[in-house]
Amino acid sequence: MDINRRHLLALALAAAATPALSACGDDRQRKQAAAPVRSGAQVIDPDRPGSAAWPYEQAEQLNNSLTWPKTDVPDPASKVVITVAMTTDTVTEVRNAQFDFFFKKRHPNIEVRRESSPFDQFLTKYMAQAAGGTLPDVLYNHYSWTQNLIGNQVLHPLDDYIGRTPGFDLDDIPQRGLGYFKRDGRLYGLPTDMAPKLLFYNKDLFDKAGLDHPDESWTFDRLFETARKLTSGSGVQKVYGFSPMAQPGPDLGTVFLMPFGGRFLDAAESKVMINEPAARKAMGLWLDLLTKDKAVPSLAELQLLEKVDPFKTGHAAMMINGAWLMLELSKQKAFAWGATHVPKGPAGRFSPAVGSALVMPASAANKDAAWIYMHEFLSSSGYKFRQITSPARQSAWDYTAEANGIPAETAKLVKEILAGYASDEGVLRLPANKKVVDTAKPIWERAMLGKTSVDDALAEIAAKVTPVLAGNRVA
């Protein structure tokens, strides 16, 4: 394997200086699969792994009720050890320990050694290991990292292993959300989770105002009009029609610009397009909603709220966010909520399909055993056992939704979007994506503060982001 180790070391240092992006620029990683924890933060009984939230007896019963998939890849004839590196929260750490415990019972010759690291340290740690030529056998990967690792020949393609697993059913995973993990027709990662973005709304605020709830017929014009109507009050009691304000982020183009025919960057991520007419129109509409209508929180108002999310606290009528938010909303009792399709624009309706993945490093010492583990961990039964909120396999959605208390109609909506229009198109994924966002965001914030015009801000973003795109030239 020919890895440019000097390049990888430089990328590791860059990652240390600038923590990796959370998915879609929000708190998704902290809420689901990548919340920061210290490795070894809790003691888990290796003979009966469990906790109050996830009792051993319950896990054992669930494990025995599931049908675990098979592969033609043979189990090792003698004992092997595979290292699995993930970023996780304390609850998920227990569930993963239980999965490993029962996996060992099914595969007695495969011992699993698990490594857990905080999300904001993960990329730096393992890029440095890659530069040294050694990595775990199975590795967590955020969608924004994978193309970087593929380009530096760090990962092993999975196509041959999938071909040796007749019941794998790749079609059970939404194909239009796999682009982050593909190159030159080969697949290098399998998603640990996958979800689109939805339009969430506060039913109580709509009912109080006597307005119809959003539905599939909504356009962005209707959203802007309704947001203005639902804005009221002032100070900490203010209610906003929509939150948060559209700002530069990895999926800015997909959610807010492509419905108007615009983009943040072109498909190759080699040219800035945010200052072109279609994108300029969309960004101008959002800026008007902030500066003229006061219908979205300003930077100062967010500081007044001490960065508490206005929608989650009942201070905003609508927001566009990932389907993973359903779990948190289902557990709160402060207000009734609903979810529907994202609005349409003149160019159509678009939603990102995003998710992290498991990958197999090219340096993995026990690739066959690693595949057997990945295959079961990411199978429909694996998702059901771990009760992931947003499983990539569609066959697990109804089960996990019910287990997590998510309304059946909302789970059905998510499956429809993933099968329909959600995709990876327009979501930034190449190595420069973090620097692109970090460069553009403070410029746009000056426009939000009224210190520069929309045209001047977008022109400055184009000028300053263009040289950054040289960082997307990977092998």
What are the domain boundaries of the chain?
5-195+355-410, 197-352+427-472
Q: Does the 197-352+427-472 domain belong in CATH 3.40.190.10?
A: yes
What does the pLDDT read at residue 58?
A: 96
β-pairing verdict for 186-187 and 182-183 = antiparallel
Among the ranges given (43-52, 272-281, 437-446, 460-469), the one the predictor scored with the smallest mean pLDDT: 43-52
> Does residue 294 have a pLDDT over 80?
yes
Mean pLDDT value across residues 435-458: 97
Among the ranges given (60-69, 322-331, 369-378), the one the predictor scored with the smallest mean pLDDT: 322-331
What does the pLDDT read at residue 6?
A: 54
What does the pLDDT read at residue 302?
A: 80
What does the pLDDT read at residue 303?
A: 78
What band does 363 get if pLDDT is binned at 50, 70 and 90?
Answer: very high
Other C-beta atoms closer than 10 Å to the C-beta of 241 total: 23
**What CATH homologous superfamily does 5-195+355-410 map to?**
Periplasmic binding protein-like II (3.40.190.10)
The predicted-structure confidence for 9-34, as pLDDT tens digits, reads as follows 555 545 544 433 333 333 433 333 33
What does the pLDDT read at residue 12?
A: 55
Mean pLDDT value across residues 462-468: 98
| Residue 132 near residue 4, CB atoms below 8 Å | no
Higher pLDDT, 33 or 392: 392
Mean pLDDT value across residues 435-447: 97
pLDDT averaged over every residue in the chain? 90
Q: Are domains 5-195+355-410 and 197-352+427-472 of this chain identical in fold?
A: yes
What does the pLDDT read at residue 300?
A: 87
Other C-beta atoms closer than 10 Å to the C-beta of 149 total: 28
> Does residue 71 have a pLDDT over 60?
yes
Distance from C-alpha of 132 to C-alpha of 130, rounded to nearest angstrom: 5
What does the pLDDT read at residue 142?
A: 92
The predicted-structure confidence for 180-200, as pLDDT tens digits, reads as follows 999 999 999 999 999 999 999
Among the ranges given (41-55, 231-245, 290-304, 346-360), the one the predictor scored with the smallest mean pLDDT: 41-55
State what percent of residues in the chain have pLDDT above 90.
Answer: 78
The predicted-structure confidence for 115-167, as pLDDT tens digits, reads as follows 988 888 898 899 888 888 889 999 999 999 999 899 889 999 999 999 999 99
> Does residue 241 have a pLDDT over 60?
yes
What band does 91 get if pLDDT is binned at 50, 70 and 90?
Answer: confident
> Does residue 386 have a pLDDT over 60?
yes
β-pairing verdict for 197-202 and 337-340 = antiparallel
